[in-house]
Structure 1
Amino acid sequence: MLQSWTSAQVRAAEEPLLAAGVPLMQHAAFALAGVVARVLRERRGRVVGGQVVLLVGPGNNGGDALHAGAFLRRRGVDVVALALAPRVHDEGRAALLAAGGRVHEVTDAVDGAARAGRADVLVDGILGIGTRDGGLTGLAGALVAALAGGAVEGDARGDGSRGGVVGLGAHGADRPAVVAVDTPSGIGVDDGTVSGPVLPADVTVTFGGAKPGLLIPPAAHLVGRLEVIDLDLPLPDHHPAVVRLADRDAAALWPVPTRSAHKYSRGVVGVVAGARRYPGAAVLATSAAVLAGVGMVRYLGDVADLVVARRPEVVTGPGRVQAWVFGPGVSPDDAAQRRRIEHAFEGVLQRGEPAVVDAGALELLPPTVPTHVVLTPHAGELARLLTDRGHRLTRADVEREPLRWTRLAHEMTGATVLLKGHVTLVVGAGGAVYAQADAPPWLATAGAGDVLAGLMGAMLAGRADDVLDDPTLTAAVAAAAALVHGRAAHTANPDGPVTARGVALALPETIRTLLASA
C-alpha cells in the first residue's frame, strides 16, 4: 500500500527532526544523487563523464538538487546549476561550487532551455511542497514551457519577447531524462491540479512520504516512475491523504470462500443491465460477475435469452440478492429497465443491500443513499450528475480537478464515488481517498466499464455483511475492484489491445495469481 500525506502533514513531521539537528537535506540529497547516477548508468552505461543540469529555484528543493549535484560532481559528473531565482540555497550553492560544479544565473529562458537541452539528465528542483502561489510563472515558467512543449507561444524569454525554442519532446534517447525533486515543479502538491507549465518527469524522487498530488490526475500523468525515500519522518499512521492499493491489499480484500461455503453464503448479485439496443452490456456485466467467482448471478432485463446463451450459470428473474449492479447499457428511454432499477433501489434503501450504480442508472439515483452504494461515472457522467444537482460543470471541468468534484459528489449523495479514468479515484466514508493507476491505456475501450461494474458487484455481494458493518470498507473494496480490473487487462494481452470480453475472460487467472502472490 502506498500512502501519501499533505504538505502540511509532512512539514509538521519534519519540524521536530530539524529542531533536533537531523540533517534531512543531506539524507535526501544523497538519495537523490543515487537515483540520478542510476539514470545516468541506464542511459550511458556509466556515471563518470555524464552531464547533469540542475534547474534550481529559491527553496529547499533547490537545496536538495544543489547538494545532490555536489555528490555527483565528486563521482566525476559534469554538473551545472541553472539558478532561476535571484537567490538560491546558500549552503547548497557553496557545496556544489566547492565540489567543482558550476552555477549559471539564468536571465533568458531561450538561453536556459538551450543549456538544459544538452544534458544527459535534468534535475527539476525549481519548486517544492512549500509553494502556495500555484504553477510556474515568469522566467521559470517560460523555460519549463520551452522544454516541455517546444516553441513557446508567448513569453519564451521571460521578458515579453518571443522565443522559438525547440523542446525536449515526448520520447527519444537524445533528449535529457528528467528527474523531479519531491514533485514535478508547478503541480498542485495536495490536489494534483496543473495550472501552468510542468516539465514531465521520467522519475520523481519524493522524500519522507508520497505527496497526494503525485497520485492524483492530472498531475499523476507527469510523475513518471515514483521513488519514495524513507527519511523516518514521524508521519501519522492514520488518515493518510490518498492511498494506492497494492496487489497484497487487494488480495486481503477479496472474498475467498471457506470449505463450508455454499452459493448463497458466497454472495448473490442481482444485475439490471442491457436492453435490446445494448445487449452486450448485460452479457459483459453478468460474465464479469460470474468469472469473478460470486456464488450466483441473477439477471433482470429484456435480453435474458442472450445472457443465458453466453453464460448458462446466470439465473434469470427476481429473487434473493446480497448486492446489485444497476445501469450498464440502460438507455433513458427504456421504461421497463428503469422501473426495475427504481424497484431495486427500494431494497437498497430499505434492506441495506450494497449496489453499483453505473451509466443509465446514475440519473435515477435518489437524493441521498448509503455509503455502501458505489457510483461509477466517467468524467462526463460525473459532470452531468453534479449539474443536475446545481453545479454547472463540463467534462473538462471534472478532468481539471477530478478530486474536488469526486469529493463533492460523495458529499452531496452520501455514496462512495468511483471516478473512472486512467487513474481511477475513489472517495468514500471518513474522507477516504484511493487513486489506482493499474490499467493500461488500452483499457479505454467500449464495454470495459460494464466489466468493472459486474466485477465490483461480485465483490460487494461476497462482502455484503462486512461493508454494512464498516462504512469505510466500501471504498477499499471499490479500489480493489479497480486494481483487479486493470490487472486483468494486462493479463488479457500484455502491452497490446484488449477487448472488454477479453478482460472479463482474464479475471479468473488474474484473481488466482493475485491470491497466490499474497
Structure 2
Amino acid sequence: MIPVYSVAQVRAVEAQEISKRGSESLMRAAASELAAAAEAMLAQTASPTDALIIGLIGPGNNGGDGLYALTELAQRGYQTLALQCTETGHPEALKAYASVAGTVKSLSEGEEALSSASLVIDAIYGIGYRTGAQLPKLPAGTRVLACDVPSGLNCETGSADDDVLLAERTVTFGAMKTGLISQDAPLVTGEIQVATLDFDFSSITPETHLVDENSAQELLNVHRSWRDAGRHKYERGVLGLIAGSALYPGAAQLTARAAVACGVGLLRTHVPEEVQSLLSLAAPETVPLDDEQITEALSLARRHLHGRGAKISAWAIGPGIDSRTPPTGVIANVFDSRQPAVIDASGLEVVPTGPSEQPRVLTPHAKELRMLLRRAGVSVTTEEVRQDPIRWTRWVALAYNAVVLLKGPTSYVVAPNGANLVVCHAAAQLATAGSGDILTGILGYMLSDSSLTGIYGLETVSNSRLMELTACAAVIHGQLGRVTAQQGTVSASRLIDQLPAVMKDFGF
C-alpha cells in the first residue's frame, strides 16, 4: 500500500533532505524523473526530433524542476521551449537551460506555440499554490505532464480552481500527498507517479494508505493457497442475498449477476415473490432462500460459522429493498448473526446502531452517509462530508460499529478504531444507475470466500481484514469501469459483461 502524507509532513521531510543533500541536487533528481516521464508519454507517438515539448515555467523550485527537465530533454534531442509564466525564474536552472541553447520566451510571446506542442510540462506552481492565481488556457486536447502538482490544485485540500490545468499524468515528489487524492484531485491529476527521491519518512506516520492495483493484488493473495483449486462449491463460499422489491426489481438482479460473474461458489437469494421469476431468468444459477431456510442457516452458523455445516458464509443486504416496507424481521435476524455482511442502499436505513458482533461493511455515498449520521444523532451537510470525508466516515464507523466505505471518485474505507484506507481514481463512468449494486455483489462474494478472509471455524473476520477486502473490491470496481469505458459508454449491464475478465486479471 502507498503511504499518504500531508503537505506539512512532506515539507518537513523535504527540509531535512535539503539540509543533507542540497536543494540543487534534489531539484536535478526531480527533473530527471520528470524528463523520464515525458519520454515515456511520447514513446509511442513521436520521435525526439519530431516532438515539441513546451514547459510552462513558474517562479520557484517547481519552475526550476521544469527547466532542468527541459535541459535533459534537449540534450536527448527533443525540441523544447520554455514559456515563462511569471516575471522571475529560477536563476541556476535558467543558466543550465541556456547552456543547451534552450529558448525562453514570455507566455504572451510564445502562447501560439502551445497549439503545436506534443507535450506540455506544467511546472508553474507546486505545493505552494493558492487559489486565484492566473493560469494559462491550453488548447483543447493538449497533453499535460504536471510537475509535482497540477497548477490550480490546492495540494492541502484537494480543491481545484475552474481553470486548473488538467493533467494526463502527474509526477509528484517525495511521497503521495493527501491533496492529490481528495475532493477534486482525482479528476485533474491523471495517472499519478510517485518519485520518492529517497526521502526518509521512517519517523513520520502517514495520514492514510492508498490501495492501488498492485497493492490489491498483494492483499488478495494473503490467504490464497494452491489447495483452493480442489474446493467444492460450498467451500468456495455461499453468499446470501437479501434484496429487491416490486418497486426496484432490477437491483437484486444486478447484484446477483455480479456475484455470479465473480465466481461465487453458490448464491442463495431472498427476494419478494414478484421478483423471483425475473431473478431466475436473469441469474439461473441462484437458489431461492425463504424465511425458514434463513432461520436454519443462522442456527447452523452459530455452530459452524465458516465450517462445513454452514449454509451461508456471508450476506449482502439492501439493493432494491423498498424502504417503506423492508423485510425487517428477516434482516433483523441476520444483523444478530456473527457472519460478515455488506450493507448497501435501503439496507443502510435499517442497519442498527451501537455494538454488534457481526462484522459489517456499510457502503454509502455522501448523501447516504449524511443519513446514517442523522440516524446516529449527528447533523451535517453533504458539503461538510465532502470537505472532511475521513472525519465524518469515522463517526459512522464508530456509531454503527462497522467498516464504512464512503463511495466517490476517491473512496474512503474507515474502521471503528479510526484506521483508514483510500482508493483513488475510480472511473467517472461508474456514476451510473446500478453500479453500486455491482460493487455489493463483488464485495459480498469476497466476504463469503474463506480463501480471501482467511477465516475458518468459529472465528469472525477482523475489521482490518474487512478494510483490506473492501478496498480491494473498490479497486476492482474502478478497474471494471475503466475497462468498460474503453469499449464504449458504460451501463450496469455492460459492467457485468466485463466483470469475469477483470476478476481474472486479479487472480480469480
TM-score, with length taken from structure 2: 0.80
Please list every run of 5 or more consecutive structure 2 residues that lacks an aligned counterpart in the other structure.
299-311
How far apart in 2 are the matches of 1:480 and 1:381?
22
| 1:417 CA displacement | 2.0
Query: Paired residue for 1:270, among 240, 245, 248?
Result: 240
- C-alpha distance 368-135 of structure 1, shift in aligned 2 (>3 A): farther
1:460 and 2:447 are equivalent in the alignment: yes
Match of 1:21 in 2: 21
Match of 2:308 in 1: none
- C-alpha distance 422-96 of structure 1, shift in aligned 2 (>3 A): same
| More deviation, 415-424/46-55 | 46-55
1:252 and 2:221 are equivalent in the alignment: yes
How far apart in 2 are the matches of 1:311 and 1:305?
10
The one-letter code matched in structure 1 to 2:379 is H
Match of 1:328 in 2: 319
How far apart in 2 are the matches of 1:254 and 1:511?
17
| 1:195 CA displacement | 5.3
Given that 2:394 and 2:418 are in contact with CA atoms closer than 8 Å, whether structure 1 keeps it comes out as: no
Given that 2:4 and 2:176 are in contact with CA atoms closer than 8 Å, whether structure 1 keeps it comes out as: yes
Given that 1:253 and 1:480 are in contact with CA atoms closer than 8 Å, whether structure 2 keeps it comes out as: no
Given that 1:291 and 1:508 are in contact with CA atoms closer than 8 Å, whether structure 2 keeps it comes out as: yes
Given that 2:373 and 2:379 are in contact with CA atoms closer than 8 Å, whether structure 1 keeps it comes out as: yes
| 1:479 CA displacement | 1.6
How far apart in 1 are the matches of 2:47 and 2:359?
53
1:65-76 equivalences under 5 Å are 65-74=66-75, 75=77
Between the two proteins, the alignment pairs up a number of residues equal to 471
Given that 1:434 and 1:479 are in contact with CA atoms closer than 8 Å, whether structure 2 keeps it comes out as: yes
Query: Paired residue for 1:209, among 161, 167, 175?
Result: 175
Superposed CA RMSD in Å reads 3.5
Given that 1:386 and 1:393 are in contact with CA atoms closer than 8 Å, whether structure 2 keeps it comes out as: no
Task: Map Cα deviations across residues 440-468 of structure 1 (whole Å, 9 max, x no partner).
Answer: x4443322211211221111122456494
Structure 2 SS opposite 1:392: coil
Task: Map Cα deviations across residues 103-143 of structure 1 (whole Å, 9 max, x no partner).
Answer: 5567xxxx4894674562432223323x2xx6332xxx223
How far apart in 2 are the matches of 1:383 and 1:328?
18
Query: Paired residue for 2:289, among 306, 310, 316?
Result: 316
Task: Map Cα deviations across residues 58-96 of structure 1 (whole Å, 9 max, x no partner).
Answer: 3x2222123223334444634324142x65433323333
How far apart in 1 are the matches of 2:242 and 2:105?
65
Task: Map Cα deviations across residues 154-190 of structure 1 (whole Å, 9 max, x no partner).
Answer: xxxxxxxxxxxxx533x2xxxx432211111232425
Given that 2:209 and 2:422 are in contact with CA atoms closer than 8 Å, whether structure 1 keeps it comes out as: yes
| 1:258 CA displacement | 2.6
How far apart in 2 are the matches of 1:196 and 1:404?
26
How far apart in 1 are the matches of 2:266 and 2:104?
68
Structure 1 SS opposite 2:319: coil
Match of 1:432 in 2: 420
- C-alpha distance 369-197 of structure 1, shift in aligned 2 (>3 A): farther
| 1:362 CA displacement | 1.2
| 1:273 CA displacement | 0.6
Given that 1:61 and 1:128 are in contact with CA atoms closer than 8 Å, whether structure 2 keeps it comes out as: yes
The one-letter code matched in structure 1 to 2:155 is V
Structure 1 SS opposite 2:198: coil
- C-alpha distance 345-57 of structure 1, shift in aligned 2 (>3 A): farther
Please list every run of 5 or more consecutive structure 1 residues that lacks an aligned counterpart in the other structure.
148-166
- C-alpha distance 192-308 of structure 1, shift in aligned 2 (>3 A): same
1:101-250 equivalences under 5 Å are 101=102, 111=108, 114=111, 117=114, 120=117, 121-129=119-127, 131=128, 135-137=130-132, 141-144=133-136, 147=137, 167-169=138-140, 171=141, 176-194=142-160, 197-236=163-202, 239=206, 241-246=208-213, 248-249=217-218
Match of 1:34 in 2: 36
The one-letter code matched in structure 2 to 1:341 is I
Match of 2:90 in 1: 89
Match of 1:477 in 2: 469
- C-alpha distance 105-259 of structure 1, shift in aligned 2 (>3 A): closer
| 1:36 CA displacement | 3.2
The one-letter code matched in structure 2 to 1:372 is P
Task: Map Cα deviations across residues 365-412 of structure 1 (whole Å, 9 max, x no partner).
Answer: 323456932111223323333355433323x65556655544454355
Match of 1:64 in 2: 65
TM-score, with length taken from structure 1: 0.78
Structure 1 SS opposite 2:506: helix
How far apart in 2 are the matches of 1:76 and 1:262?
59
Task: Map Cα deviations across residues 3-40 of structure 1 (whole Å, 9 max, x no partner).
Answer: 43333443444444433326221111122233335556
How far apart in 2 are the matches of 1:202 and 1:127?
17
1:307 and 2:295 are equivalent in the alignment: no
| 1:56 CA displacement | 0.6
| 1:413 CA displacement | 3.8
